[in-house]
Chains A and B, each alone.
Chain A
Amino acid sequence: MTADDLIDLVEMHAGALTLYARQWTDSPDDVVQTAFLKLVRLPIPPDNPVPWLYAVVRNAARDARRASRRRNKYETRRAEQTAPWFAPSDDPTGLDGEAATEALAALPDDVREIVIAHLWGGLTFEQIAATVGGSASTAFRRYQAGIAALRDQLGVPCPTRK
């Protein structure tokens, strides 16, 4: 992997990977950075590095969450709630970042990770199924359930079918 390839990957996917890791750990930057360093150390990089990065970040973030829970349960949860997940939006008509953060945090873990991986990570449902386990159709159903729950949380009416 060349340095240019690594720079492109970092610029395109570092933010989404950080958001993906933030749902488990209070230090998502370290987890994402470690995942990129692991990718660089591979003698033969994977054909599609993006799903590979999401799988590595997922495992590392969940391990970090378990370790932080063993150390100090309550302080970690407080840190996770205060860190902003989204940058301030310039569009006043768009969704509120803080509200979206609260709505995402309220989702179950398995639903939330699928929503983040698909909406902000750009993974297909097949790739998501390979990362989290299960089938692509199961991943799609959970995604649809997550979108419906977010719509209710944020008060966005469901479009009526004609």
Chain B
Amino acid sequence: MTPDLPPHGPSGRRTPFEWSLAALRPADSGAERPSFMFKAGQASRDGEVRFWRWAAVGCGLLLAAGAGAGGWLIADATRRAEVAEARANRAENPTPQPPPRSGEGEQEQIFAATERSGGSAAAPFSRGEDTPPLPSPASAERPWERGPGGEGYTTPNPTPKDIAAALQLRRDILVAGLGMIPDGKLIGTPVPTSPGEWDRHWATPSGVLTTPKITPKKPTPIADPDDDVPPIPDRE
């Protein structure tokens, strides 16, 4: 097939020799047309396939990240549930609280331990010679240390483990709140019922475990400054 030759050269004319040469038909290419067209169709889709391939990889990465985050959240929730369950179990089955030493309360125990350690600047609350003596724990001023039968709220012979458990329970209550207070299933011991009794039981200052009742005060009316000012007399 002779192509339509464009005008060439300044004159735009073509010689018969050139027309004779152009009439020679180039030999057909050996490429098979159907296979070539198939390859051309494949090549035209290369970009599209590459795009969807990377899109699938991206989706896979997102799914993996989501699964990892979900697994972490589930594990974290499970851990929190286990901690809450452990605390609930400890609240239901608390270790019996250590009793104060014979003749001493908890504060006296601390003071006594400080005294035994020699008393130093690291223990500023150690009792010295000028410190007034602490009241006897068995005095009538502290009747809560004795139950109805005088047996007290604590076990008679606490072990260091009992003491440690009691201090741990006290720390939990001070940190987490009154929800950590056990149900009071101590065998043979009455349970304090009012917050004030708990203050006395734990030897905390009054009002630590008690929520003071807050009565909203009525706002005082702001006096109108013009009320007491006499009217300006009219000038005549």
Contacts and interface: CB of A to CB of B under 8 A. Distances in A.
Instruction: Specify whether A and B are partners.
Output: yes
B41 interface: yes
Interface residues of B, number: 33
Interface secondary structure of A, over-half rule = helix
Contacts of A71: none
Interface centre among B1, B22, B24, B33, by most chain A C-beta atoms within 10 angstroms, is B24
A152 to B, nearest CB: 11
Interface string A78-108: 0000011111010100110100100000000
A94 B22 CA distance: 10
Interface string B189-232: 00000000000000000000000000000000000000000000
A15 B28 contact: yes
Contacts of B46: 41
Interface in B35-80: 36-37, 39-41, 43-44, 46-47
A122 B3 contact: yes
Interface string B13-27: 001111011111111
Given A41-B43, A89-B24, A159-B15, A10 B8 contact: no
Interface centre among B25, B37, B39, by most chain A C-beta atoms within 10 angstroms, is B25
A43 B4 CA distance: 29
B47 to A, nearest CB: 6
A125 interface: yes
A86 B3 contact: no
B133 interface: no
Contact of B39 (A37, A122, A147): A37
Interface centre among B27, B31, B36, B44, by most chain A C-beta atoms within 10 angstroms, is B27
A41 B21 contact: no
A32 B31 contact: yes
A91 B23 contact: yes
B160 interface: no
A67 interface: no
Contact of A122 (B6, B15, B18, B28): B6
B24 A84 contact: no
Given A15-B25, A40-B44, A122-B6, 13 more contacts: A6-B37, A33-B29, A85-B27, A86-B24, A89-B25, A94-B23, A95-B21, A97-B24, A118-B8, A124-B6, A140-B8, A147-B15, A147-B17
Closest 6 CB pairs of A and B: A19-B26, A15-B26, A122-B3, A18-B29, A29-B30, A86-B24
